[in-house]
């Protein structure tokens, strides 16, 4: 077991301290986040190596696969190390056509929480994020009804902490009026900077901001500036993009995903990449 924690740690509650460099498990599913992985043995090895290298924050969802990713996590890591925290998401499901329709009714949310509990093999979920918006931008409207359902499940002891995903600043405020929020998970990376103000708000209020698609997601980041900087620093463009996020805000948590140990090691090494001020200024200009 590693004695170092990649990226350092962030404490969000008395029982919630996580490595800032986490691991996003979505890519452990098959193509299109559907079905089992191409190489189940490698998927298990990736999860175990992430933990061995000091990662204490894994991001998942029962609708990855669906179901197969949570089952892999349990297979690879259960009984879980004491320091490991697993964050999951509810609010969507997978349809037979592989689409991602919303699932925000009371019954759907309760079922989703119990499905996550069962497949992960735990009595209480560390963090549950309520997914409201689409991938690209928040969906306007109130989240009070579905978030209240999760708040009730938290009061029942099935969830320790709550987060929100795909939300606006106004929706975050609404959620906070119902129950404490420890994290926000929105689309954000060096090239997609719409949430700059929300990133800063999370830092001021001591909440985590967890960017999904930190490396561009289904459309990987393409930037000549990234390539040039990476060449100068002796790093990869992806490492530069991850290092920029870690330096962007002290409460950003990273969850880059991969299905290979080689890429996992590359991502974790980004936590040790210190970007000089002039490089940060160049990268800041990429998203403007």
Residues marked active site are found at 64
What DSSP letter does each residue of 118-136 carry, written as one string? Answer: HHHT-SSEEEEEEE-S-SS
Distance CA 59, CA 50 (A): 12
Residue pair 211/245 in contact (Cβ under 8 Å)? The answer is yes
Q: CA torsion, points 10, 72, 40, 6, in degrees to nearest 10?
A: 10
Closest C-alpha among 150, 134, 152, 133 to residue 142: 133
What DSSP letter does each residue of 160-200 carry, written as one string? Answer: EEEEEES--HHHHHHHHTTS---EEE-B-BTTB-TTHHHHH
- Relative to beta strand 9-13, strand 16-19 is antiparallel
């Amino acid at each position: 077991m590693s004695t170092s924690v990649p990226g350092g740690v962030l404490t969000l509650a008395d029982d919630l301290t996580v490595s800032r460099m986490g691991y996003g498990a979505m890519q452990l599913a098959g193509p299109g986040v559907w079905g089992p992985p191409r190489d189940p043995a490698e998927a298990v090895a990736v999860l175990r190596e992430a933990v061995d290298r000091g990662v204490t924050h894994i991001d998942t969802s029962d609708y990855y696969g669906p179901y197969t990713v949570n089952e892999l996590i349990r297979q690879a890591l259960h009984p879980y190390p004491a320091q490991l925290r697993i964050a999951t998401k509810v609010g969507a499901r997978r349809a037979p056509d592989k689409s991602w329709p919303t699932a925000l009714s009371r019954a759907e949310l309760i079922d989703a929480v119990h499905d996550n509990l069962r497949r992960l093999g735990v009595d209480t979920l560390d963090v549950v994020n309520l997914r409201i918006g689409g991938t690209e931008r928040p969906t306007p409207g109130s989240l009070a009804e579905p978030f209240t359902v999760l708040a009730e499940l938290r009061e029942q002891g099935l969830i320790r902490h709550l987060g929100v995903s795909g939300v606006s600043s106004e929706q975050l405020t609404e959620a906070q009026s119902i129950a404490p929020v420890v994290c926000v998970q929105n689309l954000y990376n060096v090239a997609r900077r719409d949430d700059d103000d929300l990133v800063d708000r999370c830092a001021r209020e001591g909440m985590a901001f967890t960017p999904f698609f930190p490396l561009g997601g289904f459309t990987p980041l393409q930037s000549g500036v990234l390539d040039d900087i990476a060449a100068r620093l002796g790093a990869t463009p992806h490492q530069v993009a991850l290092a920029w996020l870690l330096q962007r805000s002290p409460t950003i948590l990273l969850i880059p995903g991969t299905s290979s140990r080689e890429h996992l090691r590359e991502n974790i090494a980004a936590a040790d990449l210190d970007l000089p001020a002039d490089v940060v200024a160049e990268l800041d200009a990429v998203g403007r």
